[in-house]
Amino acid sequence: MIGYDGVSMTTAADLLLFDRSDELVALVDTDSVHGRTAQWAAEFRRGRLRRSRMFVPFHLLITSDRLFLWKEAPTIPPTLTVRTEPLLEGYFAQLGVSPESVRQRTFQNIVYMWLVDLTWLRPGTPIPPELAWAADCGFLESINDGLVRSANLAA
């Protein structure tokens, strides 16, 4: 099945991030399970690379307690791993759910809301310390003024 801008929905992630020029810059996979490891993330990434040879600058795998990011490389180990608690705690609180018990669809919506908020950060805005990694690797700049699409809705 072909979806938004020719992106194959059978190989696409849960969420797609586009820059301000409408170019696909990130695939985002979500998993609400708590306690996933970097080894598990590497296996997930290996499977993603087998199913899809699509190259994008960023691939994020976000679980309820960890964010694994790969930048501009088809490598298996994540480029970096970040705790999601400081990033998503306000969204969990707003919806009255905990990271340990959140359901997958709700978690995907939390990640969607968080990413939309990140696209709205204006250049020159002070970056909170918990987002320093996103600024340092160029992720924030690449999605600034961009668009987040659910792969399920993109078709």
Domain count, the chain: 1
Which domain range does residue 138 map to?
4-154
State the pLDDT at residue 51: 78
Q: Could you give the maximum distance between any two Cα atoms of the chain, in Å?
A: 41
- How do residues 39-79 score in pLDDT, each as one tens digit? 999 898 888 888 776 778 999 999 999 999 999 877 788 99
Measured CA to CA, the distance from residue 85 to residue 130 in angstroms comes to 10
pTM score: 0.88
Q: Is the pLDDT of residue 1 over 60?
A: no
Bridge partners (DSSP) of residue 8 are: 2
Structure tokens at 26: 């990130």
Q: How confident is the model at residue 8 (pLDDT cuts 50, 70, 90)?
A: very low
- How do residues 90-128 score in pLDDT, each as one tens digit? 999 999 999 999 999 999 999 999 999 999 988 788 999
DSSP of the chain = -B-GGG-BTTT--SEEEE-TTS-EEEEEEEE--TT--HHHHHHHHHHHHHH-----SEEEEEESSEEEEEES---SS-SEEEESHHHHHHHHHHHT--TTT--HHHHHHHHHHHHHHHHTPPTTSPPPGGGHHHHHTTHHHHHTT-EEEEHHHH-
Q: Where are the alpha helices (DSSP H) in 52-101?
A: 85-95
